Amino acid sequence: MRPSDQTTKRPTWIACPKPRPQARIRLFCFPYSGAGASIFYPWLDRFPEAIEVCPIQLPGRESRLAEPLFTQMKPLVRAAAQALLPYLDKPFAFFGHSLGALVSFELARYLRREHGLVPVHLFVSGHNAPQLPDRDPPIHALPEPEFLEKLRRLNGTPEEVLQHAELRALLLPILRADFQVAETYVYEPDEPLDCPISAFGGIQDEHLSREGLEAWREQTKADFSLHMLPGDHFYLNTHRRLLLPTIARKLISL
């Protein structure tokens, strides 16, 4: 049985509550730090039938809460590649936001290097180009009071969650692990990818720059486009009506 026929037997890495086995392209979506696949569920009905949205569920959250969290990029990428390989039997694209942008980029390079596979398009969002140094000091090992203050400044975690002891105890280890993945990441130069790259960012995002997004151009031999949308770092949740049609247009035109 081909992977595309196994619509009820997806691996735990792929949370796809509305499979489209006849779709022409699979769009794998990688979440930001602390988040799970559910952040992409509002996307499921917003794409043409030719595109199957496949949210990625990283270990240690939501339906995979009991599994160990990854704290380093390379083991995470290797494990993701092994899980996704059976589902790369048709054209595929990656979308990643913030940490997800780094993960999807490194996964694309790993698949090219180890398996000769390249996505038809790489969509990176909310993260400066990987070759640029990260000027923010690491926060993943800060004591809890300082860590909570940094989270409040990032504006991505609801205050009611931070104030709730049980929810906080559940979420903080996930966030610390995800931040550790990003903050210990070391960029290694390699040949640019052969697929187009589209970079997205929120105009009010204080954690990246237009120049930092523009630098993603260096990572592709193909077309590059930059899209600045209204909103802050989490614009993809508040302005998806602007983001999703742009992604759909680029994929349908392939």
Nearest Cα to Cα of residue 127 among 58, 189, 204, 202: 202
DSSP 177: H
Q: Each residue of 130-151: pLDDT tens digit? A: 999 988 888 898 999 898 888 8
Percentage of the chain lying above the pLDDT 70 cut:
95
Pick the CATH number of 11-133+189-252 from 3.40.50.300, 3.30.70.520, 3.30.930.10, 3.40.50.1820: 3.40.50.1820
Q: How confident is the model at residue 79 (pLDDT cuts 50, 70, 90)?
A: very high
Residue 225 is which amino acid? S
* 183 burial level (CB within 10 Å; 0-12, 13-18, 19+): middle
C-alpha distances (whole Å) from 137 to each of 37, 70, 133, 143, 212 are: 28, 20, 11, 14, 17
Dihedral sign from CA coordinates of 30, 34, 36, 38: negative
Among 4, 38, 63, 98, the active-site one is: 98
Domain ranges of the chain: 11-133+189-252
The pLDDT of residue 159 is above 70: yes
CA 221 – CA 65 distance, rounded (Å): 39
3-state secondary structure of 138: coil
Can you give the pLDDT at residue 10?
55
Per-residue confidence band for 7, with pLDDT thresholds at 50, 70 and 90: very low
**Has residue 9 got a pLDDT over 60?**
no
How do residues 54-77 score in pLDDT, each as one tens digit?
999 999 999 999 999 999 999 999
CB atoms within 10 A of CB 112: 17
Encode pLDDT of 187-198 as tens digits: 999 999 999 999
Query: pTM for this one?
Result: 0.93
The reply to whether 98 belongs to the active site is yes
pLDDT at 11: 63
User: Per-residue pLDDT for 206 more than 90?
Assistant: no
| pLDDT surpassing 60 at residue 1 | no
